[in-house]
Amino acid sequence: MGKIAFVFPGQGSQAVGMGKALADEYQEVRELFEAADQKLGFSLSDLMFNGPEEKLTLTMHAQPAILAASIAALRIFEKEGITPDFVAGHSLGEYTALAAAKALTFEDAIYAVHKRGQFMEQAVPAGEGTMAAVLGMERSLLQEVTAEVTASGETVGLANLNCPGQIVISGTKNGVALAGERAKEKGAKRVLPLNVSGPFHSSLMKPATEQLETVLNGVEVKDCETPLIANVDAKPVVKAEDIRAKLLQQLYSPVLWEDSVEALIEAGVDTFIEIGPGKVLSGLIKKVNRKVTTYAVQDGASIQEAAKALKEAAQ
């Protein structure tokens, strides 16, 4: 058996009811959620369990909620004695990965992503920026399209390089619409508008960087106990000062998810365990490389199932 990576989902994986099954079953998960509620000064757990969905979906709520549900699943999964060789996370999931690697405490991570969500929402007035998924187009070709549109005065760029043939673009409403039209003219199969509140991972997020820097300077960042493959360059990072710099850069840079998965495979990883709500990353990883094994763990049953399979594989 090769190496193991724990990977953590990003925004969009939230769902009303997440984390509830684990909280019902485990005292330590209830305590974890109580700690989150106390740190944030409102009941995040109530939002997670009961919604309403439109409130949970707000960036400043969705980010800490996904992080909390993911860390809850991690804490229970860790009891099975399975440890990762690497960690990685998609956008917001990078903070979860850092908490998993003991670079950030749970409370600091949850506070930081709540603030990050607020800053991201404030960076661009609502309705002015957006994102869209472009399917079936080469990275270099799409890069040309977005560069042309940006040169004409409407900001747009590559935001998430998720897997072959799936790239998310981000920018002004007009920029994304124009780039989408041009991408289709140049052979993209489909362009799907995303239901997001802003142009994340684009240069339009730069105004949020200063505020985020203040928050990150106010929390203790330690060296990672497990190497993290960073979103911004798909390279391993361990040192605290590098982590802070990469988290700031990540706000306005593309998430190199496909490259990160490739880097992990090259480093010997053949088993990816997605920890937290949904199965988005497992699907993307399989599109990067069909041969690897993926597990998605988020509740008692999926944790037991993955742990059993992994222990059998290790024999």
CATH of the domain at 165: 3.30.70.250
CA distances from 46 to 23, 55, 113, 251 (A): 12, 11, 18, 28
Examine the residue annotation and report whether 201 is marked as an active-site residue of this protein.
Answer: yes
Residue-level pLDDT at 311: 93
Average pLDDT, the chain: 97
Confidence class for position 182, pLDDT limits 50, 70, 90: very high
Nearest 5°: CA angle at 245, between 217 and 89? 100
In 3-state terms, the chain is what percent helix, strand and coil (to 5)? 50, 15, 30
Confidence class for position 196, pLDDT limits 50, 70, 90: confident
Examine the residue annotation and report whether 170 is marked as an active-site residue of this protein.
Answer: no
Catalytic entry in 201, 260, 282, 302: 201
Confidence class for position 126, pLDDT limits 50, 70, 90: confident
Q: Are 214 and 98 contained in the same domain?
A: yes
What average pLDDT does range 161-170 have in this prediction?
Answer: 97
pLDDT for 232 beyond 90:
yes
Catalytic entry in 13, 45, 91, 253: 91
Q: Are 163 and 253 contained in the same domain?
A: no
- The number of distinct structural domains making up the chain is 2
Q: Are 177 and 222 contained in the same domain?
A: no
Q: Are 16 and 39 contained in the same domain?
A: yes
Of all residues in the chain, what percent carry a pLDDT higher than 70? 100
What is the C-alpha end-to-end distance of the chain, expressed in Å? 9
Of all residues in the chain, what percent carry a pLDDT higher than 90? 96
* Domain finish residue from 196, 221, 253: 196
The strand ranges marked E within 151-275 are 156-163, 166-172, 190-193, 228-229, 236-237, 269-275
Q: Are 159 and 31 contained in the same domain?
A: no
Which residues partner with 274 through β-bridges?
7, 296
Q: Are 167 and 286 contained in the same domain?
A: no
Q: Are 154 and 41 contained in the same domain?
A: no
Residue-level pLDDT at 29: 98
pLDDT for 195 beyond 90:
no
Q: Are 25 and 106 contained in the same domain?
A: yes
Confidence class for position 81, pLDDT limits 50, 70, 90: very high
pLDDT for 127 beyond 90:
no
Q: Are 192 and 217 contained in the same domain?
A: no
Confidence class for position 144, pLDDT limits 50, 70, 90: very high
Residue-level pLDDT at 272: 98
Confidence class for position 197, pLDDT limits 50, 70, 90: confident
pLDDT for 1 beyond 80:
no
- Which CATH number fits the domain that encloses residue 52? 3.40.366.10
CA–CA separation, 15 and 112 (whole Å): 21
Closest by CA to 285, choosing from 300, 269, 304, 309, is 269
Closest by CA to 303, choosing from 98, 6, 58, is 6
Confidence class for position 6, pLDDT limits 50, 70, 90: very high
Q: Are 12 and 140 contained in the same domain?
A: no
Q: Which domain holds residue 47?
A: 3-123+204-314
**Under 8 Å between Cβ of 39 and 64:** no
Q: Are 138 and 114 contained in the same domain?
A: no
